Amino acid sequence: MPGSKVGDSARVKGPTTNRVRRHEAGAEAPVGNFAPTAIVPAPPPAPTRPPRSLGDFSRAPLEEVAAAVGRHFATSPNEEWRRGRDVREFLQRIAPFPGATWQERWEASGLNELNRPVGDLAGDDTKLRYRLFSGAGHAFAIRLIRPTLHSFHANRFSVYTRWFRSVASDPLLEDFCLRVGQLPVSEPRRTRTMRDICCALTVFGIDLDGLTPEALLHYAVECRKHGLSGETLRSGTFAGTLAWPVLHDMGQFPASAPRTLRAAVTRGQLPVEEAVDRHKLDNPAVRDLLVDYITRRSASLDYSTQRQLTHLLAKVFWKTIEEINPEQKDLRLSEEVSTKWKERLVTLPSGKPRLDVDGPLMAVRALYLDLHTWAVAEPEHWATWVAPCPVSDADLRWFHRRRHRLQERMANRTRERQPLLPILSKHVNDTWSRLRALLDAAESVAPGEEFQFDGATWLRTLSRDDINHNRPPVRVINRGSGELVRLSFEENQAFWQWAVVETLRLAGLRAEELVELSHLSVRQYQRPNGEVVALLVITPSKSDRERVIPMSAELFHVIAQIIRRHRKLHGTVQVCARYDLHEKVWSDELPYLFQTLHGGTQRCMSSTTAWRMIRRACQELEATHPEFVGVKFAPHDFRRLFATELINNGLPIHIGAALLGHLDIRTTRGYVAVFDEDVISHYQQFLARCRAERPEEEYRRPSPEEWTEFEEHFDKRRVELGSCGRPYGTPCAHEHAPLTERTRLIVQFRAQVTLRPSTVCGRDGRSCARAGSVEVGRSSVGSADGDRRPVRALPARRRQRRGRGAGRGVLPGTARCREGGGDRSAPTGWTCCDGGGSCTRSKCRGIERHSWTLGISAAGSS
């Protein structure tokens, strides 16, 4: 947006050097987004013949100079006297200083330095102060004195551009000023642009045909560095921003020069050497190793991944190792050093916990393993650096679990924002609709007139700067509240805010894909039945694959509104360049849809600008919707919500992956957040489909006899207790098992196998709820689910559960049954007991209510 800071930018391709530039000891590494590399800023060479259209007055007497200035600038006799007086008083102040020319006297006076305005010579005399400013300005304009950049901006000249143009009489300069006057910007910005060029020509002592891109870049950089011409480091802008594209279009700059000043000052893709040197590594051998390693890896990496790898290895890894152990000379780290590094890794320098701990660990592990592999093929280059990897398998033990936790956080983030998305969409749509209607009502009346809108009275106003604007903005005042609304500006912001939110919501694009949409992306496809389908072609981005999205009616409406807006303002969708914030390169000029006016020229919107628009919309909703407090919508949240809506509404996941541009459907599955309501509704729909496919007679109302039999089944078999899970109407696998209430199997391998009661299973099979059974005659022990294992297999089973050995084998023994002192009939091989081997009950109720112990002797024992 206009006035916004310039973000990360790209260096334009140009002449470079292969020499490795290392930082000197104690020198500051180059930082910031504006380190010119494609064009080296430098002042132009001094002209052999300085331009002096009025003549050479460098050695002329004071009165001769004053008379010449008066004659040239005067429009009346009175004004001729005033102009001559101002120059005379100025030259009288510097005449006493030594020098053969006026330039030498000016330099000897000390007024050519920083923060030394000529007006200080007047003391408290305000009128004299302004006369001295006027005299110095006229002396600069006729090229009598050549000031430095600092001394020029230290003085105040209200109409210096007019003075300089009248003296120069340069047709090329007049053409430049004419072009600047047609720019769709305010008059103050046009005036400042022309003043910047006149100032640069004065300081360099040249005409406009001698102004090179390097000279203008030098002027812009120096002004920004020292806070001159109203441009400061915090403003993010440069002097001469509007002048650069005008000079380029005029042919003053060569075609190989960047199209804009921003392209000339941006940093661009740093070489690997410079990227590593930014971190000031103390060990030159390790520094060279990292440069060679990253350079070899860069062949298969994009620039953003290469930059991240450089940061992890140079800054996060080795710079931290040098801080822990300054004497470390190679990659062979001690256990103490590696442990301290891992402890520091979990915390960011700001003190906050590091969320992505696996990234540095995986990068360092890949470094060591790659060195191991490369040393086999190229031992002379890599073998000396082979060392044990400090990142062990135990450090990555929880890698997959952390990935699952990350996916859970993303799914929870999606679930939190899903109910907020309709509110956000409605807000941006209502805001733009209201401002658009208000703008239409304001444009229907002349400035200074009142009009009614939405039950309120509004007054269209016009400021002094708007009168001379090539595209006057619309401003209105609410007569009731007195609020001043920059209507055209706010309506433009609301439109692009609506366009960004709706396109992301309806297409599920990545932020980079959004800003890469162009007029050429809109296609159409005719189906065999004659139906025409609007398509949106997405250029390759992350996956380097082009894909096509069929546009819905809502998405087509948004794209059509964007194209209609461009045609209304410019007659067509203008071509402009786009800067890739990740790859740090400039694209070819294309008719991008998301483009706005920046510095008087059309420029493609950045993904950062789109993110700021979304954030501003959320902040506007905080006052009326408390649920938006603290909520941050990112462009990728719209993509996850789009994927969730597609898949949860029944679209096959492989089709959703194609629409999203995913090469693997597992990536799409990770985007989809599952809601509890969706699980319940989809399962109910599944049951309904299953019931619809079964015969209708299975759903008749049961008779009273059938219902009674069904209830008896649960009562007798005790399915409600969970002790027998057989289906209704099927025979029980535990029929006639001679086991009693609550039987459970406890195996004692050294001497005997003991069966203790846990369930009920009668011989008649009516009260079977047995969970296991024993067949003594076959020497096997089994369970109700059909699992029968020989007795000889029990020791192995016990070793699996308890991890130790047992007896070799068992044989069936004999059975005895007693109640009190008398024996009682019992199955062969069983003894009636109650824990201690004898029956302690008052009455023996038979085998159905007894505890039975099977005595089995170990093989080979008596």
Quick: pLDDT tens for 435-446. 999 999 999 999
Phi, psi (deg, nearest 5) at residue 761? -150, 105
Q: List the structure tokens of 311.
A: 């940061």
Q: Is the pLDDT of residue 295 over 70?
A: yes
Give the model's confidence band at 333: pLDDT under 50 very low, under 70 low, under 90 confident, else very high.
very high
pLDDT number for residue 739: 39
For the beta carbon of residue 22, count every other beta carbon within 10 angstroms. Answer: 14
Which one-letter amino acid corresponds to residue 359? Answer: G
CA dihedral 711, 712, 718, 722 (to 10 degrees): -30
pLDDT number for residue 644: 85
Give the model's confidence band at 671: pLDDT under 50 very low, under 70 low, under 90 confident, else very high.
confident
Q: Which residue has the tokens 């001394």?
A: 151
pLDDT number for residue 676: 58
**What does the pLDDT average to over 735-763?**
39
DSSP category for residue 753: E
pLDDT number for residue 182: 87
Q: For residue 331, give the nearest of 385, 290, 381, 367 by alpha carbon.
A: 385
Q: Which residue has the higher pLDDT, 681 or 275?
A: 275
- Residue pair 490/566 in contact by the 8 Å Cβ criterion: no
pLDDT in tens, 355-373: 888 899 999 999 999 999 9
pLDDT number for residue 721: 47
pLDDT number for residue 787: 42
**What does the pLDDT average to over 341-347?**
92
Query: Where does residue 130 rank: exposed (0-12), middle (13-18), buried (19+ CB within 10 A)?
Result: middle
CA dihedral 547, 548, 554, 559 (to 10 degrees): 80
**What does the pLDDT average to over 802-822?**
40
Q: Is the pLDDT of residue 754 over 80?
A: no
Give the model's confidence band at 799: pLDDT under 50 very low, under 70 low, under 90 confident, else very high.
low
- Residue pair 200/240 in contact by the 8 Å Cβ criterion: yes
pLDDT in tens, 770-785: 333 333 333 334 443 4
Q: Which residue has the higher pLDDT, 401 or 348?
A: 348
Three-state SS letters, 838-861: CCCCCCCCCHHHCEEEECEEECCC
Query: Where does residue 765 rank: exposed (0-12), middle (13-18), buried (19+ CB within 10 A)?
Result: middle
Strands (E), 413-455: 450-453
Q: How far is residue 32 from each of residues 36, 140, 265, measured CA to CA in Å?
A: 10, 35, 11
Q: List the structure tokens of 19.
A: 């020499």
Which one-letter amino acid corresponds to residue 838? Answer: S
Phi, psi (deg, nearest 5) at residue 370? -65, -40
Q: For residue 660, give the nearest of 668, 652, 669 by alpha carbon.
A: 668
Q: Distance (Å, rounded) from C-alpha 581 to C-alpha 584?
A: 5
**What does the pLDDT average to over 386-401?**
86
pLDDT number for residue 323: 93
- Residue pair 396/365 in contact by the 8 Å Cβ criterion: yes
Q: List the structure tokens of 218.
A: 């030098």
Q: Which residue has the higher pLDDT, 814 or 229?
A: 229
Q: How far is residue 669 from each of residues 137, 399, 510, 776, measured CA to CA in Å?
A: 71, 19, 17, 54
pLDDT number for residue 24: 34
pTM value is 0.69
**What does the pLDDT average to over 153-170?**
89
Task: Return all residues near 148 (Cβ < 8 A) that are at least 6 apart.
Answer: 112, 113, 203
**What does the pLDDT average to over 289-307?**
92
Q: Distance (Å, rounded) from C-alpha 690 to C-alpha 685?
A: 9
Q: For residue 50, give the nearest of 160, 210, 172 by alpha carbon.
A: 210
pLDDT number for residue 235: 57
Q: Is the pLDDT of residue 173 over 90?
A: yes
User: Mean pLDDT over all residues of the chain?
Assistant: 78
For the beta carbon of residue 91, count every other beta carbon within 10 angstroms. Answer: 23
Q: Which residue has the tokens 């004065």?
A: 202
Three-state SS letters, 781-827: EEECCCCEEEHHHHHHHHHHHHCCCCCCCEEECCCCCEECCEECCCC
- Residue pair 98/123 in contact by the 8 Å Cβ criterion: no
Q: Where are the alpha helices (DSSP H) in 123-271?
A: 126-141, 149-154, 160-168, 171-181, 187-204, 213-226, 243-250, 261-265
Give the model's confidence band at 727: pLDDT under 50 very low, under 70 low, under 90 confident, else very high.
low
Q: For residue 549, give the nearest of 661, 665, 456, 639 by alpha carbon.
A: 661
Give the model's confidence band at 401: pLDDT under 50 very low, under 70 low, under 90 confident, else very high.
confident
First to last CA, the chain: 98
Give the model's confidence band at 828: pLDDT under 50 very low, under 70 low, under 90 confident, else very high.
very low
Please spell the DSSP secondary structure of 305-355, one letter per residue: HHHHHHIIIIIIIIIHHHHH-TT--SS---HHHHHHHHHHHTB-TTSSBPS
Q: For residue 177, give the nearest of 160, 186, 163, 165 by alpha carbon.
A: 165
Q: Which residue has the higher pLDDT, 511 or 545?
A: 511
Q: How far is residue 172 from each of residues 179, 202, 252, measured CA to CA in Å?
A: 11, 15, 9
Beta partners for 753? 747, 854
Q: Is the pLDDT of residue 660 over 70?
A: yes
Query: Where does residue 240 rank: exposed (0-12), middle (13-18), buried (19+ CB within 10 A)?
Result: buried
Q: Distance (Å, rounded) from C-alpha 114 to C-alpha 722?
A: 93
- Residue pair 328/283 in contact by the 8 Å Cβ criterion: yes
For the beta carbon of residue 418, count every other beta carbon within 10 angstroms. Answer: 17
Give the model's confidence band at 846: pLDDT under 50 very low, under 70 low, under 90 confident, else very high.
very low
Please give the angle made by the CA atoms of 180, 580 and 30, to the nearest 5 degrees: 85
Q: Is the pLDDT of residue 434 over 80?
A: yes
**What does the pLDDT average to over 620-636?**
90
pLDDT number for residue 183: 86
Q: Is the pLDDT of residue 746 over 60?
A: no
Q: Which residue has the higher pLDDT, 268 or 862?
A: 268
Q: Is the pLDDT of residue 843 over 50?
A: no
Radius of gyration of the chain (CA): 44
DSSP run (H or E) holding 561 = helix 553-570
- 533: three-class secondary structure by DSSP: strand
Q: List the structure tokens of 773.
A: 């059974």
Q: For residue 588, give the nearest of 535, 640, 518 by alpha carbon.
A: 518
pLDDT number for residue 38: 62
Q: How far is residue 74 from each of residues 81, 82, 145, measured CA to CA in Å?
A: 8, 9, 21
Length of the chain: 862
pLDDT number for residue 719: 44
Which one-letter amino acid corresponds to residue 689? Answer: R
pLDDT number for residue 390: 93
Task: Return all residues near 683 (Cβ < 8 A) that are at least 6 apart.
Answer: none
- 384: three-class secondary structure by DSSP: helix
pLDDT in tens, 526-539: 888 888 889 998 87
**What does the pLDDT average to over 605-624?**
92
